[in-house]
Structure 1
Amino acid sequence: MKKAYLLLLALGSATLSFGQKMEYSVQLNSGLSSFAGESSSKTIAMSLSNSWGGSAGVSNPYGSRYNVTYGASLQAQYVATSGLLFGTQAGYEQLRTRAKIDRAVGQWSHSSSMTHPADGKAVIIADYINLQPYIGWRIKQSPVDLDLTLGSDIGFSQQMKERSEATMEDGTEIKVKEDRSEKITDFRPRLGITGYHGHFGISMSYAHGIKNYRANMDGANMKLYTRVFRIGLLYRL
């Protein structure tokens, strides 16, 4: 029993000497996201009817052009006097991607051609519950705390939908609204830097997904990954 008390005392002394402190923050962020990989597209065509003669659609709306993202999260981290830190963020965010529509394919009006000029965009909107465990280093302390962190997003997909629209030469607008069935847990290694002055902070980060959204599909070069730039405003409690 005496040894147990001595061990607890030693552990308590070590914890106090290590000087860890807990920090809590709330964050609002925005940024840019897109898809990457051979299955992503920068410019695409809209089909005026699907293979069954139905409504218009886009076969590959997963754009490699960046679009605006939104999110909010809570953060908790331990910071040692040595500068070592580790923590996690948990939040909800909406990632958006974009591809340009520059043509429409199919029968249209009295034209004998099957390809028609068009102008529009295909947008994928994906909602995630996001968890980000990380480690890092406080490279500068007081009056400005500067943290460099390395971690990984673990994004639990909640829903994914397509919102595409194109305008034909004669001014006709064609819109596509479709709920996509992709349900995926996305892993995105993430590098970030955060600066605090008092209660307020600014963060910047980049995350590149390693989870292939097309892993279960047949075909050559079926690869599709997410990439996300974020800028956030934090309030340290």
Structure 2
Amino acid sequence: MKKVYLLLLAFGCVSAAYAQKMEYSAQVNSGLSRFGGESSAGTTTMVINDTWGSPPRVTNPYGSRYSVAYGASLQAQFVSASGFLLGTQAGYEQLRTRAKIDKAFGYMSHSSSMTHPADGKAVIITDYINLQPYIGWRVKQNPIDLDLTLGSDIGFSQKIKERSEATLEDGTEFKIRKDRSESITDFRPRLGITGYHGHFGVSVSYAHGIKNYRANLDGANMKLYTRVLRVGLLYRL
């Protein structure tokens, strides 16, 4: 990863020396995010107990189902006379992931069974300060500028929250509202395409996380990575 950023810096020096112009823009985006890897879950279980006093919990809240993400960022980029791009984005975003809860496990005073059908979801919400250095190429110019870019998100987590809930067949509801103590710096190689017409633009990008969220667990070979698909609207100054 360090070699990648040294290469970007070298390109930056060349681009700065021969830059035709510099562009600035602001962007708002929405999209979809999820967890990937062996430790992510499409379906999970809530552990409950209505008599022992322990709070409910989800066995694996790190969902592999897409959920809505959104954010905003500022962008600056050099555009050389030949079309080479070097730029960066800086912004704030919230990523959400989801897993379906299809059953609950635990003792209920009115039932002899320990397993109960349930309907619910486990949601992890993470707020990031996000940087994205990138290189690219302007493949078409005037009247529509079309940019292809390759870079990497560097996401610094600010808050990680769990918001899970499940309803049993008899209508009993369980909710989890938990602020998690994890903190992570996430790396996500990112491929994007942006089209501008005058001051306005539309972008589409996909980021594929390579930072393992579960790497700090001893004695386990667990893998958990972020996946983010974004669509953005830009205003170019």
Rg larger in structure: 1
Q: Is the 8 A contact 1:151 1:189 kept in 2?
A: yes
Mapping of residues 157-236 of structure 1, within 5 Å: 157-236=157-236
In the alignment, structure 2 segments of 5+ residues that lack a partner are 1-13
Aligned to 2:78: 78
- 1:81, 1:209 → 2: CA distance? 33
Q: Which runs of 4+ in 1 moved over 6 A?
A: 14-17
Per-residue deviation at 1:143?
0.1
Per-residue deviation at 1:181?
1.2
Q: Is the 8 A contact 1:202 1:232 kept in 2?
A: yes
Aligned to 1:130: 130
Q: Is the 8 A contact 1:157 1:185 kept in 2?
A: yes
Aligned to 1:8: none
Deviations 1:133-172 (A, max 9, x none): 0000000000000000000000000010000000110111
- 2:15, 2:157 → 1: CA distance? 38
Matched residue type, 1:108 = M
Question: What's the TM-score, normalizing by structure 1?
Answer: 0.90
In the alignment, structure 1 segments of 5+ residues that lack a partner are 1-13
- 1:29, 1:49 → 2: CA distance? 41
Mapping of residues 35-46 of structure 1, within 5 Å: 35-46=35-46
Q: Is the 8 A contact 2:15 2:86 kept in 1?
A: no
Matched residue type, 2:233 = L
- 1:16, 1:130 → 2: CA distance? 23
Question: What's the TM-score, normalizing by structure 2?
Answer: 0.90
Per-residue deviation at 1:218?
2.5
Q: What is the aligned-residue RMSD (CA, Å)? A: 1.8
Q: How many matched pairs?
A: 223
Matched residue type, 1:93 = E
- 1:17, 1:235 → 2: CA distance? 26
Percent identity over paired residues: 77
Q: Taking structure 1 as reference, are residues 79 and 101 closer, same or farther at Cα in structure 2, changes over 3 Å only?
A: same
Aligned to 2:6: none
Q: Is the 8 A contact 2:205 2:230 kept in 1?
A: yes
Per-residue deviation at 1:113?
1.3
